[in-house]
Amino acid sequence: MMKILTLPPGIVAKYGSKAWPLGLAGAALVILGSLLSWSYDPTILGDLSITFNPGGLQLMAIALALLAVVLLLARKGPLTSLGQWADTAKGLDGLATWTLVFMAMVVVAITVEAGGLINVQPGCWISLLGAIILFASSRLLVSRKTRNLAEALLPGWAEILVIVVIMAGLLFGTAYALNLADGWVLILFLVFVTAVAMSTIRAGLMSWLAHVSLRRKRELILASFAVAFCFPLTQGGSDANMSIAAQVLIFASAAMGLNIVVGLAGLLDLGYIAFLGAGAYVGATLSTSGFATIGWKPPFFVVVIVAACFTATLGLIIGTPTLRVNGDYLAIVTLGFGEIFRLTMFNLDGNNGPDLTHGPNGIPAIPDLYFGSFNFGDTHSLLGIPLSRFSNYYFLLLLLLAFVILVFHRLNTSRIGRGWVAIREDEKAAEAMGVNVFGLKLLAFSTGAFLAGMAGAIKAHVDVSVTPDQYVFLESAFLLAAIVLGGMGTIVGVLVGSVILKLLPEKLRFFADYRLLLFGLLLVVMMRFRPEGLVASRRRQLEFHEEDEDLAVRVEGDIAEEVAG
């Protein structure tokens, strides 16, 4: 990221000493303003109109200001022991920039929602002024050299505590965000999250977290799973958010499967949604729906395996001739395959062929799953909290996602994963060193198809009906966009990307009409400034920055740490 608005060194040298008190004053103004009323209208953006009773947005502004105070005190003052590890100037730079964006957007939001600039109360202007002063102060601070964060060791319990706090923040942040009815507040909340994230990343604390997560891998995985498991409990039996969450999980499972093909093996597949669709159709036709066209009704886990094997075979059949071509050609061939799948499903209606799929009508009324006496359609209760239909499916899909991630991770860190990296690096050299290039590509293709088949079989039951128009090219493009946006070849990145791409259009209805335009813009911006994605895989980052020698030196240790496992 570039440093916005860099001041000439002369000014920095002259006024540099004023930066610290200036920053504290700015932060104090933001807090003071947030305690006052921001808007005349109590009905918009949560209630921001009562003095000394801050609403959600005002609390966010206060939190940002307090974070700025911590960073400033780490630079000079009681917290300097922290300051020797973190680059406070860069951290404050990121924080102040985004705090300013936050306050500016608040002004815009109040103006738009309440119908005029006149509705903005002095409290809001004071906070905006504070943000501007904070921003100016951050321009005047000079970056300092910090100690190597790999040496920053906390006692074990403290590291675990940090993980727990972050995970709890994640859980409650997500629950809070999902319950926000107002689009503006949600966007501002995302800006707030970005501000916190940018300041920790730029201060270098994120790389400390990366070291901790390598050291505490087991605890971290356990904690993430626990948080994901607890999420339905925060929803109090409401299905509104859980249905979105279930869709996000299906989307994330499919994206993670595609990530094996695109992120690990480096094959551009634009027809991946066809495998999800094939799995869904197998799941539907073998279900007990009255519209199912095949008489065989095996238990569900058999259906999942049949669907997965069917799509994996489909992957092999498609892959064998097409994987001999590379890059753009492969993309076009897979794109064509995706369309062939959709049109085939559209036409197997009894008029043009055997009646397998009921053509455009699809297969409706797919009944809910049941394991023994546990019916997924019923509401069950856990610890007194009711868990409805979508929560039940959520748990099942969580298991699926965990399985997909396990497959992804274990393949990535095996001999096969090394082979894939070698193919991406230099296909000819890999071949000349005895790597089975074609076999490994085919393996990636069919493993991805296998996982999509499993996800599809479950999706059929979650969605109740399966129709061809659910599996159009656009869905493949979205899956790919989630990977590119999040970070090819990473687990966390693709999860983040899936959540962003699936959740935002659901929550921000007003933005749904423009989502293609906005995602297109977002991708263009990403390609310009951060082609490796939000969460970069170290190796991918290197591949995207072939010329950057500094980067190569910096990440060398991280990669070696990953290799050592």
Structure tokens at 484: 């590119």
Q: What share of the chain is helix, strand, coil (3-state, %, to 5)?
A: 70, 5, 25
How many angstroms separate the CA atoms of 120 and 258, rounded? 47
- Minimum distance of other proteins from residue 440's CB (angstroms): 9
How many angstroms separate the CA atoms of 452 and 272, rounded? 8
Q: Which amino acid is at 315?
A: G
- Minimum distance of other proteins from residue 324's CB (angstroms): 14
Q: Which residues bind other proteins (CB under 8 A)?
A: 406-407, 410-411, 414-416, 418-419, 421-422, 425-426, 428-437, 443, 447, 539, 542-543, 549, 552-553, 556-557, 559-560, 563-564
- Minimum distance of other proteins from residue 120's CB (angstroms): 51
Residue number with CB closer to other proteins (42 or 557) = 557
- Minimum distance of other proteins from residue 132's CB (angstroms): 43
CA distance to 214, 337, 419, 522, 564, per residue, from 493 (Å) = 16, 27, 22, 16, 22
- Minimum distance of other proteins from residue 354's CB (angstroms): 34
How many angstroms separate the CA atoms of 70 and 77, rounded? 10
Residue-by-residue DSSP string for 15-46: HGGGHHHHHHHHHHHHHHHHHS--BS-TTSSS
Residue number with CB closer to other proteins (104 or 422) = 422
Residues 451 and 253 sit within 8 Å (Cβ to Cβ): yes
Q: How many CB atoms lie within 10 A of CB 436?
A: 14
Residue number with CB closer to other proteins (253 or 447) = 447
Residue number with CB closer to other proteins (120 or 416) = 416
- Minimum distance of other proteins from residue 451's CB (angstroms): 11
Residue number with CB closer to other proteins (187 or 552) = 552
Residue number with CB closer to other proteins (245 or 452) = 452
Residue number with CB closer to other proteins (426 or 513) = 426
- Minimum distance of other proteins from residue 300's CB (angstroms): 22
Question: Going by C-beta distance under 8 Å and a sequence separation of 6 or more, which residues neighbour residue 284?
Answer: 292, 362, 363, 366, 460, 465, 466
At 374, which helix (H) or strand (E)? strand 374-375
